[in-house]
């Protein structure tokens, strides 16, 4: 992983802060008095978890994205099923990383009980996953509260699909207060993590999508056979190049027509999004600034603050 210089790191954090200052509502350093060691505790725990399992970085970033897009950044994605709510969000989509969140929350609870919300834990953990896997960081606004409602149907109606074309993608992001800059920048997270074959075999069978590099398709078919009902659903790396390093590699892959999802390839089908893909592929630092700014902006989607919601003791259940 290429490390940025101190000056470059400061530039990413500073420029991302400037970009998001006018629209953000949450404050920085929300826990400076109530739990001054919160962010350091979370960072240390996240780093240790990723040292033990590098895939945790992608899982925590993805978890924050899914949480924010479904019902706002309220940690509703973390709630388990219960007698009163048998079908929460997590029942609608398979995600990794829940056990990691449990460990992070336990660590911060040990320092400051019932102080740091699970929604903020997700935002901090995503930022620290970026820092660990990409070598740059950014300031995170905080003060979110945890929601008490989690419904599976909300996933279907709110999450952008990997089968979306460009207009559906733009519309999905627009409804959340995000724009094409955010859509393209955040897509860079597909430089790490894995994907199930079922998410992209539509581009392999019955014929290879003409927008996919043929050699790449041949390699994918070795792991992903034609879909058969009831058959296993293997996984492949989102990126064949440096799959545990968050970087602008996704955009290089996109230009080379070596990305997995219909939604990934769709970024090149419109002039404005296609131009941003090219820019991000050519300029790693530019993408880092854009990505950081979009992560901060995304973290402000439909947040609960003040007396709304609660601060859960355990992220999987609402307080009794």
Check whether 70 is labelled as a binding-site residue. Answer: yes
Check whether 294 is labelled as a binding-site residue. Answer: no
Told to judge if 66 belongs to the known catalytic residues of this protein, a careful annotator would answer: yes
**Strand (E) or helix (H) holding 194:** strand 194-196
Check whether 196 is labelled as a binding-site residue. Answer: no
Alpha helix segments (H runs only) across 72-213: 98-111, 118-134, 152-158, 166-174, 180-187
Cβ contact 57:192 at 8 Å: yes
Q: Which residues pair with 146 in a beta bridge?
A: 310
Check whether 89 is labelled as a binding-site residue. Answer: yes
245/133 Cα distance (integer angstroms): 5
Residue of 59, 61, 62, 95 whose CA lies nearest to 79: 95
Residues contacting 104, CB < 8 A, separation 6+: 42, 45, 46, 49, 121, 125
Cβ contact 293:19 at 8 Å: yes
Check whether 190 is labelled as a binding-site residue. Answer: yes
Check whether 208 is labelled as a binding-site residue. Answer: no
Cβ–Cβ contacts within 10 Å for residue 310, how many? 16
For 115, the token pair is 């102080």
**In Å, what is the CA distance from 262 to each residue of 161, 186, 254?**
9, 16, 11
Check whether 72 is labelled as a binding-site residue. Answer: yes
Residues contacting 133, CB < 8 A, separation 6+: 1, 50, 54, 57, 58, 192, 244, 245, 246
Catalytic residue among 64, 66, 139, 196: 66
Residues annotated within a binding site for Ca(2+): 67, 70, 72, 74, 76, 89
Q: Which residues carry a binding-site annotation for heme b? A: 190
From the annotation, which residues make up the binding site for substrate? Answer: 160
Q: Which residues are annotated as a binding site?
A: 67, 70, 72, 74, 76, 89, 160, 190
Report, as residue numbers or ranges, the catalytic residues: 66
């Amino acid at each position: 992983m290429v490390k940025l210089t101190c000056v470059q790191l400061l530039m990413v954090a500073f420029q991302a802060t400037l970009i998001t200052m006018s629209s953000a509502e949450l404050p920085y350093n929300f826990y400076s008095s109530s739990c001054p060691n919160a962010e350091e505790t979370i960072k240390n725990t996240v780093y240790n978890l990723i040292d033990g399992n590098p895939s945790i970085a992608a899982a925590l970033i993805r978890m924050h994205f899914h949480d924010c897009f479904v019902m706002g950044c309220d940690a509703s994605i973390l709630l388990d099923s219960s007698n009163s709510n048998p079908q929460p969000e997590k029942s609608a989509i398979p995600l990794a990383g829940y056990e990691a969140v449990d460990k992070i929350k336990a660590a911060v609870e040990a320092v400051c009980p019932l102080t740091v919300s699970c929604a903020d834990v997700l935002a901090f953990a995503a930022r620290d996953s970026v820092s660990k896997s990409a070598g740059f960081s950014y300031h995170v606004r905080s003060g979110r509260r945890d929601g008490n409602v989690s419904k599976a149907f909300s996933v279907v109606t709110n999450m952008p699909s990997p089968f979306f074309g460009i207009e559906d993608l733009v519309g999905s992001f627009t409804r959340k207060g995000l724009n094409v800059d955010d859509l393209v920048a955040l897509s860079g997270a597909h430089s790490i993590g894995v994907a199930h074959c079922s998410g992209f075999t539509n581009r392999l069978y019955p014929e290879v999508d003409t927008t996919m590099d043929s050699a790449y398709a041949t390699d994918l078919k070795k792991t992903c056979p034609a879909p058969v009902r009831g058959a296993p659903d293997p996984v492949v790396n989102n990126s064949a190049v440096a799959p545990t390093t968050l970087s602008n590699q996704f955009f290089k892959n996109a230009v080379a027509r070596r990305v997995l999802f219909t939604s990934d390839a769709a970024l090149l089908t419109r002039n404005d999004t296609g131009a941003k893909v090219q820019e991000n592929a050519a300029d790693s630092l530019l993408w880092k600034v854009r990505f950081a700014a979009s992560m901060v902006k995304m973290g402000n989607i439909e947040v609960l603050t003040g007396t709304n919601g609660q601060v859960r003791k355990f992220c999987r259940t609402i307080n009794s």
